[in-house]
Amino acid sequence: MIIQVNKNWWKDLFDETYLLTDARSVCDEELTVREVNFLEKILKLEKAWPILDLCGGHGRHALELSRRGFLRVTTLDYSKYLLYLGKQRAGQENLNTLFILGDARCTGLCDESFQVIIIMGSSFGYFVQEEENQKILTEAFRLLVPAGKLFLDIPDRDYVLREFKCFTRHKIRDDIEIFRTRELEQNIIYCRERVTSASKGFIREKNYCTRLYGPEKISRLLLNVGFSKITYKNDFMCREAEGDYGTMTSRMVVVAEK
C-alpha cells in the first residue's frame, strides 16, 4: 500500500478546491433536481415532515427541497466552509433551510427528531474502521421517529470494481487539472488527488478513502443497528458522459425503515 490516509482526512478536504474537483457532481444543479425528484417519489415525502440532510455539505439537496415548499429541512455537516455557502444561498433565496455544524457520528440533536434522513453523494463509508461508519447509522436510527426512513446514496460496489482505474485525469475550465491515483484493498478505495493550475501551478495534494458496500454488507450493518424493510436500487443517476466521476459515476440507493 503506497497511499497512506490519515483517519481524519475528511475534516479538511471539503473546501473551495473540493467544489472545483467535484464540480461536475456537487455543483450540477440539473443533477440535483433529478436526484430530489427521485427522493420525493421513492420516499413519498410530505411537505411538513422534518428532514435531515446528514453530511449534506453546502445543502444542495436540502435547498432544493426548501425551494419546493418543504418546511422543516436541516443540513448537518462538519465543513464550516460548505455550511457557510449553504447559509448564504438560503439567505439569498429567502429559504428557511437550517444549517448545523456537527459530526454525523454524534450530532447532539434530540432523539426521534426526523421523519426522513438522507445521506447523499457517496458521503458514507469514509472510515477505514467499520465501527466508525456504523456509528453514523446508529445515530441516524436514534434521530428517526418510529417508521422513519433512512435514504443512503452510496457507490455501486460491483460497478466500481468492474470499472476500477488506477489513474485518471480531467480538466476544469481549461485551467485546473485533477490527477487521481487509486489503490484498492479489501473493498476500500484509497485515493491520492493532486490538483494543479496552468496559471497558478500546484494547488494541493490530498489523500482520502471510501469503503465500498454490496447489498449484503450494508444490510448487515443496517440490521445490526435495528433497521428493517431494506430495499435497493442500482444505477442511481448513472453518469454516461465520459470523464472521471470517481465513486459518483454509478451509485446504489438503499432505503431502510426504523
Name the residue with higher pLDDT: 108 or 28.
108
- The domains of the chain, with CATH numbers, are 9-155+214-257 (3.40.50.150)
Q: Which residue has better confidence, 141 or 240?
A: 141
Above 90 in pLDDT, residue 1? no
Could you report the per-residue pLDDT of 216-249, keeping only the tens digit for each? Answer: 999 999 999 999 999 998 877 655 555 555 566 6
What's the whole-model pTM score? 0.94
Q: What is the pLDDT of residues 80-95, one digit of tens each?
A: 999 999 999 999 999 9
**β-pair partners for 207:** 192
22 DSSP 8-state letter: T
What is the share, in percent, of the chain residues with pLDDT greater than 70? Answer: 95
- Hey, is 30 helix, strand or coil? helix
Identify the weakest region by mean pLDDT among 51-65, 116-130, 199-213, 243-257. Answer: 243-257
Distance CA 119, CA 221 (A): 15
- To which H or E segment does residue 140 belong? helix 130-143
